[in-house]
Amino acid sequence: MKEVKFSLVFRDMWQSAGKYQPRVDQLVKVAPAIIRMGCFDRVETNGGGFEQVNLLYGENPNTAVRAFTKPFHEAGIQTHMLDRALNALRMSPCPKDLRQLFYKVKKAQGTDITRIFCGLNDARNIIPSIHYAKAAGMIAQASLCMTHSPIHTVKYYVDLAKQLIDAGADEICLKDMAGIGRPDSLGKIVAGIKAYKKDIIVQYHSHSGPGFNMASILEVCKNGCDYVDTAVAPLAWGTGHADIIAVQEMLKDAGFKVKDINMEAYMEVRSQIQAMMDDFLGYYCPELNRINNSLLVKPGLPGGMMGSLMTDLEENLTSLNKWKVKHGEKELTTDEILIKLFDEVAYVWPKVGYPCLVTPFSQYVKNLALMNVIQMEKGKERWSMIADTIWDMILGKAGKLPGEVAPELVEMAKAEGREFLTSDPQENYPDDLDDYRKKMAEKGWPLGEDDEELFEYSMHPTQYEAYKSGKAKADFEADLAKRKAAKNAPAAGTAELPKSITVNVGGQNYKVEIAYGNELPAATAPAATGSAPVPAGEGSDLLAPLEGKFFRVKDTSEQPKNVGDQVKEGDVVGYIEAMKTYNAIRADRDGVITAILVNSGDSVEEDDVIMKIG
């Protein structure tokens, strides 16, 4: 009788449901109940977007990781994390020295296993991470990002697994991040891997959304799978994962040896999850993410992305509908824009070479599709707004695409002077840890235990600076207050909703103004920045091309444009971060910047005036 073991993907449960993760106090409180359930040999504690979203609401992720992994170690349960190979824990590629530090820090903090994946399935990105992880003493679990296309065949995946095993991978994960892997094919892939190396551990990770995953779990287990990822209600199913109860009962009936579930502890975990949602996390979990949806089969969008997608889509739809009202056009419903988006993803995906739809490439393809939809809804051309990071994917800067890029995009690249690359992706990103050490010394910031603060700043510089200044917490508290007010008084006019809140950050109070709908907040200094808005000067208005957060630079290597700087038409003068992508704002004329009307980190809406050029 073959034994199948279970993993609880506690981090991914939250990321697949919404935007944020639990606070460290909530994580530490729920850990004993998870352990008492008695059915889990592994728990996913961190990785992926975990650290970044901690920073976004003002909490140190290093503290959270150390505190959450500790009780599982004491109970003999392995902890695992998700990592993005060349990108480590972020959306953009990392230098080699940062990637090496990454594994040393996570091992020291208590993470046992790292699940390494590349959305391009480019072994050149995965294999170095296997070596770095093992050098740090971690178990290197190499992933096959599963999808369904003419290119992604059973042979394609078995051959990739063989290459990763030969390179030293300790385990293989079938990462079915969109849940669109077909059960029969998945079973054949596991069988092929086991035929190549009988004792290699195989773990299956899948999302429920399209409806295949219970059949897929049974099929991979029949072909030798060793571990299966599961969830706990009320964060099971939908864009998340299958509930442990259903999986355990299904496998037990099929003759597999599985551990029993302590149902009293299960109910306690379930109750604590609900309490976390009631506290604040539920305000960022759209209801549509709680149900399965076979419409996801066509676009193949991953569950981990759907959590933030629905939240972001609300804002984009609101912005688009404002434009439609302004131009006398009929507004779109959420369902209408979802169908348009799903159809456009299916259209765009082959055009950009079939990257697996997993972070960051799922966001890039989705963002490109959504930008196309929005631009075409406004009577503009498809492909009229492509962010530089998306171009990097198309051009091969982050790795080789599985398929060919469409001729029209090749022509666009040539017309814009963009070059296609075939070199090792790591060569495009030089080491920079020494630069961050210097910056931290200048700021008087400690490097942290095991250099963990150096790691965090280097990995997420913009978010880390906002966390250190207190701006991240202030912005989050303001947004949460707005969501709570809107949900608790849905019929009330905005006059009855709070116009400001006071947030305490590091013992200092900041007043944060809150705006609703088309309102503008009162003209106050941005929370926790200590800098006042630049007064308006003379010249023509430069408008925000889309809704999001304004930043003068996208990373610390750039020099920001200042008032008085001369610019040429087409020069990049700032960025709008939307849907995890930095979109360049370009000068629409030659001239001099006479005013910058928003501060870095400020939220802007489409057509807001952000600068003046005289």
What is the token pair recorded at 190? 């596991």
pLDDT at 556: 62
**Beta-strand relationship, 603-604 and 5-8:** unpaired
pLDDT of residue 486: 83
> So what's the pLDDT on residue 397?
95
User: Taking the domains of the chain in order of start, what are their residue ranges?
Assistant: 540-613
β-strand 113-116 against 139-145: which pairing, if any?
parallel
pLDDT at site 268: 98
Residues 248-266 have pLDDT tens digits of 999 999 999 999 999 999 9
**Across the chain, which distance is largest between two alpha carbons, in Å?**
79
Identify the residue whose tokens are 């998700």: 82
* Strands laid side by side in the 581-586 sheet: 581-586, 572-578, 548-551, 603-604
Least Cα distance to 46 among 27, 29, 71 occurs for 27
DSSP class of residue 561?
Answer: P
108: exposed, middle or buried (Cβ count in 10 Å: 0-12, 13-18, 19+): middle
Q: Which CATH class is domain 540-613?
A: mainly beta
What's the rounded Cα separation, in Å, for the pair 524 and 108?
Answer: 43
Would you state the pLDDT for residue 536? 52
Structure tokens at 259: 């551990």
pLDDT of residue 281: 94
551, amino acid identity: F
The count of other CB atoms within 10 Å of the CB of residue 497 is 16
In this prediction the pTM is 0.82
Which tokens hold the place of 378? 């406004």
pLDDT 10s digits, 546-560: 778 898 887 766 788
Q: Alpha-carbon distance 187 to 164, whole Å? A: 19
Q: What DSSP string runs through 263-322?
A: HHHHHHHHHHHHHHHHHTGGGGS-GGGGS--GGGGTT---HHHHHHHHHHHHHHHHHHHH
Is the separation of the CB atoms in 287 and 277 below 8 Å?
A: no
Q: Which residues of the chain have pLDDT under 50?
A: 492, 494, 516-535
Task: Please state the separation of Cα 156 from the chain's center in Å.
Answer: 26
**340 with 382: CB under 8 angstroms?**
no
Alpha-carbon distances of 579 from 41, 292, 371, 608, rounded to whole Å: 34, 23, 11, 18
Q: Give the span between the Cα atoms of 442 and 465, in whole angstroms.
A: 13
Separation of alpha carbons 360 and 342, rounded Å:
18
Residue 477 identity (one-letter amino acid): E
Centre a 10 Å sphere on the Cβ of residue 65 and count the other Cβ atoms it contains. 27
What pLDDT shows up at residue 301? 75
172 token code pair? 């293989």
Cβ pair 180, 300 in contact under 8 A: yes
Nearest to 5 by CA among 237, 225, 173, 223: 225
In one letter, which amino acid is 56? L
Cα 468 from Cα 465, distance rounded (Å): 5
Q: Report how far residue 533's alpha carbon sits from residue 555's, in angstroms, rounded to the nearest whole number.
A: 21
Q: How many helices (H) and strands (E) does the chain have?
A: 20, 18
228: left (phi over 0), alpha (psi -120 to 50) or beta: beta
Which residues, other chains included, contact 272 with Cβ-Cβ below 8 Å and sequence gap of 6+? 26, 29, 30, 33
On whether the CB atoms of residues 547 and 316 are closer than 8 A, the answer is yes
pLDDT of res. 491: 52
* The length of the chain, given as a count of residues: 614
Q: Could you tell me if 134 and 107 are in contact, meaning their C-beta atoms sit under 8 angstroms apart?
A: no
Let me know: does 96 contact 431? Beta carbons within 8 Å. yes
pLDDT of residue 527: 38
